[in-house]
């Protein structure tokens, strides 16, 4: 078992939600949600290839519905669940179980369920006289505030990510390609015990760094060029995420000026973070520093995002982050500036929101103490 | 640019479909479909984080709608498209473009569009008096039969996959863990020029091989144990997929008996493949051999699947494969048997369907010539 998260508490909370709403049952299909509630760690192989669904009712043991490829894993990991193996998929299992369990109202995850699958489910629901409800964020809203145990796992994930960065940084030299360094990073992650990268590692040199989601290329590092690295890993199921931008050798004045501005934006944002503040307010704090510095247009993405079982999850630190932050949330703070003909700079740390402020998880300050 | 696929033909065919159906426009959101029609290679980062959508009309240049993180990549790769950058997502872009283009009927991909996003799109469609249509497989049906150029790319992908296998096989030794070998495989893929693995590499020893989708563990290889490897890579966008099962040293009689039976099932299936036969017929040919051998219950998954830009795509070789195969399709043939207390065996080759039969793409016969 790769997960140390106590799922029984999550399950109780979710069942309580069903009771409060008077909802007989909920299908949990999103893999991180599924894992959070059951301990079952199998990922889906693309949106059209489910590794299973939970059928959670108000009081009974939940069912983990899956196919025979996953029976052994399901039994080993989802010990609190009844394992129900289907041959033809979810609908076949529901057709058997819904009447048996007396389910009259059934929720599904509107933000993960495909429209085509909804049509099929609706047809079944009508046939069984079950009321179908599209629901959003029932499990996500539980996941957003981390338990002490989850925070510890995220700390460990971040610590390992920094260890990888430090080790790789020693080995970076002119002549290496973006792709080579990205592979070195991902190989080192695995060497040091990570399950996998939490996203495709970004390594971008020079003007390639103007693409916030650059894909590492065969371009070779020239002395004096910008190096932008955005990397994260998964350890015990929990993600980390960090970006650094630097120059090997002596950076020019313009680079240092822009790097300092991005760092100032990051510091301004971090100083505003505490429980009760909205994501939009934190985003605005960073955006103001960049705008005042003349780079408002060069910062085209949101300031940050939640991190947990998923590398991108709630809450958002952006123009659209209207909900107040709460203690125990984990977010990235990653201002940047991107100029098509020049390149880009991004600095990203992760922080835990607390009642009075926040705890910065990253210890690495190699390129931050300017 | 990583894609060599000529997208203009795909685009013309898709536009022709719109004309025949009298559909003004189609939103193409599924990343492989998007790439197939436009050349734009960005993947989505999970189902909830789109890297863009195509808006294809009957006659005009298609629009690639994306956000500022991807502008440069979109311009470089999707040269036939107008690049339209949105700040808030698809709906904002559609609100502007649909009236401008005079779109009165709009299709979307029911098998990729999330139910929640459908609700948002429907609300917009009602407001703009646009008729909304849920469509399936418009682009997938084009992708299923490969062009000569695509077949060549798939051949190259398979060839490289076999090269990786051959190189890794030389290095496998007792004492190594499943995870170690999986990493060696994925590292060798990248060393030899693959873009990435086409799925998470499976390496399973002994009774772990009873899980068709086993996740590599720290379990160490004992002399005489079964080794099941299922591996594939992506080269120039196109996938390969191959499984081998073997024993280091002298296998016991039972293993050889079962391996021969799986190989016989594979050969029986391959000998039935030609244009016009259904996937279900091919599946049945393999299943009969396994059933006759007393292992009908031990083969719980379908026989095979199409391979192309996606590692799992149409057509299916399974009980549910009702459509006739056509020349130019590429499928895996992967019978197996899985016994919980013993382990498992799977042999997987890729073939191209032809008018008269099929071309087996795999040259490796190390564990097949029994």
ipTM: 0.84
Tell me which residue range forms the domain holding B203. Answer: 148-360
Say whether both A92 and A191 belong to one domain. no
Which residue intervals of A204-332 are DSSP H helices? 253-272, 279-292
The residues near A96 (Cβ < 8 Å, ≥ 6 apart) are none
Residue A337, in any domain of the structure: yes
Which of chain A's residues have a Cβ under 8 Å away from the Cβ of B108? 115
Residues A312-358: pLDDT tens digits? 999 999 999 999 999 999 999 999 999 998 999 999 999 999 999 99
More confident residue, A84 or A6: A84
A1: confidence class by pLDDT, cuts 50, 70, 90: very low
Say whether both A194 and A333 belong to one domain. yes
Say whether both B60 and B185 belong to one domain. no
Residue B211, in any domain of the structure: yes
Q: Which residue matches tokens 């680079």?
A: A255
Residue A370, in any domain of the structure: no
pLDDT at B264: 96
Residue A369, in any domain of the structure: no
Please tell me the total count of domains within chain B: 2
Question: How many other CB atoms sit within 10 Å of the CB of residue A51?
Answer: 21
> What percent of chain A clears pLDDT 70, i.e. is strictly above it?
97
pLDDT at A80: 93
Q: Which residue matches tokens 């039994």?
A: A75
Considering only CB atoms, A113 lies closest to which of B114, B134, B310, namely B114
Which of chain B's residues have a Cβ under 8 Å away from the Cβ of A340? 72
Q: Are B199 and A310 inside 8 Å of each other by CB? A: no
Say whether both A183 and A292 belong to one domain. yes
Say whether both A86 and A164 belong to one domain. no
Q: Domain holding A78: CATH number?
A: 3.40.350.10
Residues B68-92: pLDDT tens digits? 889 989 999 999 999 999 988 999 9
Residue segments in chain B with a per-residue pLDDT below the cut of 50? 1-5
Whether A4 has its CB under 8 Å from any CB of chain B: the answer is no
Residues A270-320: pLDDT tens digits? 999 999 999 999 999 999 999 999 999 999 899 999 999 999 999 999 999
Say whether both A130 and A186 belong to one domain. no
Of B120, B143, B166, which residue is a domain's last? B143
Residue A367, in any domain of the structure: no
In angstroms, the first-to-last Cα distance of chain B is: 43
Say whether both A70 and A20 belong to one domain. yes
Which of chain B's residues have a Cβ under 8 Å away from the Cβ of A33? none
Say whether both A116 and A85 belong to one domain. yes
Say whether both A199 and A94 belong to one domain. no
Q: Are A42 and B301 inside 8 Å of each other by CB? A: no
Distance of alpha carbon A326 from alpha carbon A333, whole angstroms: 16
Which of chain B's residues have a Cβ under 8 Å away from the Cβ of A215? 41-42, 73
Residues B10-61: pLDDT tens digits? 999 999 999 999 999 999 999 999 999 999 999 998 888 899 999 999 999 9
pLDDT at A4: 42
Residues A93-136: pLDDT tens digits? 999 999 999 999 999 999 999 999 999 999 999 999 999 999 99
Distance of alpha carbon A150 from alpha carbon A330, whole angstroms: 10
Of B89, B114, B143, which residue is a domain's last? B143
pLDDT at A3: 44
Residue B367, in any domain of the structure: no
Distance of alpha carbon B76 from alpha carbon B78, whole angstroms: 6
pLDDT at A283: 98
Residues B234-261: pLDDT tens digits? 999 999 999 999 998 888 999 999 999 9
pLDDT at A2: 41
Average pLDDT, chain A: 94
Considering only CB atoms, A115 lies closest to which of B41, B113, B210, namely B113
What chain A residue is nearest to B108 in terms of C-alpha separation?
A: A115
Distance of alpha carbon A145 from alpha carbon A133, whole angstroms: 25
Distance of alpha carbon A25 from alpha carbon B206, whole angstroms: 39
Strand ranges, E, within chain A: 25-28, 53-57, 63-66, 82-85, 105-109, 131-135, 196-197, 202-205, 226-231, 233-235, 238-239, 242-247, 304-306, 313-317, 330-333, 336-339, 343-346, 349-353, 358-360
Counting one residue from chain A and one from chain B, the pairs whose CB atoms sit within 8 A come to: 109
Say whether both B96 and B197 belong to one domain. no
Which of chain B's residues have a Cβ under 8 Å away from the Cβ of A1? none
- The answer to whether B54 touches B61, Cβ cutoff 8 Å, is no
pLDDT at B25: 98
Q: Are B115 and A134 inside 8 Å of each other by CB? A: yes
Question: What does the pLDDT average to over A223-238?
Answer: 96
Distance of alpha carbon A85 from alpha carbon A69, whole angstroms: 9
Of B112, B127, B143, which residue is a domain's last? B143
Say whether both A82 and A45 belong to one domain. yes
Say whether both B112 and B221 belong to one domain. no
A364: confidence class by pLDDT, cuts 50, 70, 90: confident
In total, chain B counts a number of residues equal to 370
Q: Are B183 and A190 inside 8 Å of each other by CB? A: yes
SS3 A84: strand
Q: How far is A355 from chain B (nearest CA, A)?
A: 30
């Amino acid at each position: 078992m790769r997960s140390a998260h106590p799922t029984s508490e999550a399950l109780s909370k979710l069942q309580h939600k069903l009771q409060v709403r008077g909802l007989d049952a909920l299908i949990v299909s999103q893999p991180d949600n599924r894992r959070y509630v059951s301990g079952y760690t199998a990922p889906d192989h693309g949106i059209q290839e489910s590794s299973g669904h939970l059928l959670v009712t108000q009081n009974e043991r939940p069912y983990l519905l899956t196919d025979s490829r996953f029976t052994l894993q399901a039994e080993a990991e989802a010990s609190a669940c009844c394992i129900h193996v289907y041959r033809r998929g979810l609908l076949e299992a529901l057709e058997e179980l819904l009447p048996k369990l007396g389910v009259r109202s059934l929720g599904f995850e509107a933000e993960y369920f495909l429209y085509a699958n909804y049509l099929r489910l609706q047809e079944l629901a009508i046939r069984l006289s079950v009321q179908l409800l599209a629901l959003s964020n029932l499990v996500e809203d539980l996941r957003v505030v981390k338990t002490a145990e989850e925070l510890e796992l995220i700390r460990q994930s971040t610590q390992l990510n920094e260890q990888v960065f430090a080790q790789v940084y020693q080995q970076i030299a002119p002549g290496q390609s973006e792709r080579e360094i990205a592979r070195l990073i991902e190989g080192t992650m695995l060497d040091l015990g990570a399950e996998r990268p939490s996203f495709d590692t970004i390594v971008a040199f020079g003007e390639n760094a103007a693409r916030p989601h650059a894909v590492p290329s065969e371009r070779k590092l020239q002395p004096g060029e910008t190096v932008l690295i955005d990397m994260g890993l998964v350890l015990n199921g929990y993600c980390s995420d960090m970006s650094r931008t630097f120059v090997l050798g002596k950076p020019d004045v313009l680079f240092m000026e822009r790097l300092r501005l991005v760092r100032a934006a990051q510091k301004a944002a971090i100083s505003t973070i505490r429980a009760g503040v909205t994501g939009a307010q934190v985003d605005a704090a960073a955006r103001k520093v960049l705008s005042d510095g003349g780079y408002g247009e060069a910062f085209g993405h949101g300031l940050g995002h939640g991190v947990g079982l998923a590398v991108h999850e709630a809450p958002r630190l952006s123009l659209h982050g209207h909900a107040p932050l709460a203690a125990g949330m984990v977010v990235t703070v990653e201002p940047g500036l991107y100029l098509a003909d020049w390149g880009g700079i991004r600095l990203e740390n992760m922080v835990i929101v607390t009642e009075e402020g926040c705890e910065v998880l990253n210890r690495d300050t190699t390129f931050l103490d300017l």
